[in-house]
């Protein structure tokens, strides 16, 4: 198999983690630790950064001064971390044989054999019902959207991840569901812009991930992930051209027309000051994927690339300051 014969570097010049096959006769790394440590590793806490999106409703619904909304958002974040961890464990159970052939994933507790599949399944069967019960206590609708998230990811893991185009839409849906869950957790109205911008932004990330895999794996891409045989770099480039422009346009229109923005902020169009951060973030991400071969996962790119991280933080700080200053809650500009 050509994809297994050609060794791909574990780290490129930028220091990013890459896909590298475990060659014949080479022992795969083994994850070590006590059972609680192995279970925590299997839950992939580093990927919980995706769930920060649940706090978007708290910020953009202008409820960041409400203590009740803050704790409900934090509770929703914690519950979605547990729900997503159930998905990660189930993914590792399904893909454990394939993960053993990849140096980046071979050290995962289930793939390495340190965590027995029976124990992982038992853990999920306990954790998932408890998490859904707590979600129902927070809000019945929050529990419902959590269940939708689980059904979506199980469908992805057990078949739909092999369906071209549908796979990236399901990945994007996960981010949209997170944003909607954050609004539901605090009882805030869900703006149509939330769905539009989040979905397009998530499609941008998902397509860049596919682009990165195609570039990195070359002709052996289909042997690593079956659906990659249905993609080509030209096809993904065309999709990215549409999604990238649409993402920037949708966010720009939001800053001018969103109905939930304070009236003074809409009238003066000051929210447009956040557009340069979005534009730079998009360009920086494209640069990392196309020029630096980085892009295996959005959370790794965000945490490892300092300019991109600073851009995201500045965007959040600018948006928060503008929303707070012009919010009727601040008392500076009454409605």
3-state secondary structure of 165: coil
Tokens of 150: 């689980």
Q: Report yes or no: 296 and 209 within 8 Å, Cβ to Cβ.
A: yes
CA pair distance 277, 267, nearest whole angstrom? 21
Q: Report yes or no: 296 and 12 within 8 Å, Cβ to Cβ.
A: no
What would the pLDDT profile of 145-197 be if each residue is shown by its tens digit? 999 999 998 888 888 888 999 999 998 999 999 999 999 999 888 778 878 89
Q: Report yes or no: 64 and 324 within 8 Å, Cβ to Cβ.
A: yes
Q: How far is CA 169 from CA 165, 173, 174, 223, in A?
A: 6, 6, 9, 22
What sign does the CA torsion over 309, 68, 321, 319 have?
positive
Residues 6+ apart with CB under 8 A from 282: 204, 244, 247, 248
23 forms beta bridges with: none
pTM of this structure: 0.78
3-state secondary structure of 10: coil
pLDDT at 200: 94
3-state secondary structure of 78: helix
pLDDT at 209: 86
The domains of the chain are located at 34-189, 191-330
Tokens of 261: 């923005």
pLDDT at 12: 39
What CATH number labels 34-189?
Answer: 1.10.357.140
Residue 246 phi/psi, 5-degree rounding, is: -65, -40
Q: Spell out, as residue ranges, where the chain has pLDDT lower than 50.
A: 1-18, 23-27, 330-335
Q: Report yes or no: 160 and 167 within 8 Å, Cβ to Cβ.
A: yes
CA pair distance 141, 145, nearest whole angstrom? 6
Alpha carbon 218 to chain centroid distance? 25
pLDDT at 243: 95
What would the pLDDT profile of 93-126 be if each residue is shown by its tens digit? 887 877 777 777 778 888 888 888 899 999 999 9
3-state secondary structure of 16: coil
């Amino acid at each position: 198999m050509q994809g297994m014969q050609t060794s791909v570097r574990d780290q490129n010049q930028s220091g990013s983690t890459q896909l590298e096959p475990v060659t014949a006769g080479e022992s795969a790394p083994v994850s070590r630790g006590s059972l609680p440590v192995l279970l925590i590793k299997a839950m992939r806490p580093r990927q919980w950064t995706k769930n920060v999106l649940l706090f978007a409703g708290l910020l953009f619904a202008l409820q960041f001064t409400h203590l009740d909304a803050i704790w409900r958002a934090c509770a929703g974040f914690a519950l979605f971390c547990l729900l997503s961890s159930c998905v990660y464990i189930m993914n590792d159970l399904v893909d454990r044989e394939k993960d053993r052939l990849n140096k980046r994933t071979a050290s995962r507790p289930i793939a390495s054999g340190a965590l027995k599949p029976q124990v992982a399944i038992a853990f999920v069967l306990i954790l998932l019902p408890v998490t859904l019960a707590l979600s129902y206590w927070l809000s019945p609708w929050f529990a419902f959207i959590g269940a939708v998230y689980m059904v979506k990811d199980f469908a992805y893991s057990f078949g739909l991840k092999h369906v071209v185009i549908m796979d990236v839409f399901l990945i994007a849906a996960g981010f949209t569901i997170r944003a909607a869950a954050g609004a539901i957790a605090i009882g805030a109205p869900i703006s149509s812009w939330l769905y539009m911008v989040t979905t397009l932004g998530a499609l941008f990330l998902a397509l860049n991930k596919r682009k990165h895999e195609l570039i990195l794996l070359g002709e052996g891409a289909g042997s690593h992930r079956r659906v990659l045989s249905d993609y080509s770099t030209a096809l993904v480039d065309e999709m990215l051209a549409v999604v990238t422009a649409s993402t920037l346009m949708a966010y720009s229109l939001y800053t001018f027309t969103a109905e939930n923005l304070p009236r003074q902020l809409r009238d003066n169009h000051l929210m447009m000051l956040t557009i340069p951060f979005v534009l730079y973030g998009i360009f920086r991400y494209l640069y990392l994927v196309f020029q630096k071969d980085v892009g295996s996962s959005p959370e790794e790119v965000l945490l490892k690339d300092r300019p991109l991280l600073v851009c995201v933080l500045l965007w959040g700080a600018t948006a928060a300051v503008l929303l707070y200053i012009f919010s009727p809650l601040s008392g500076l500009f009454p409605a």
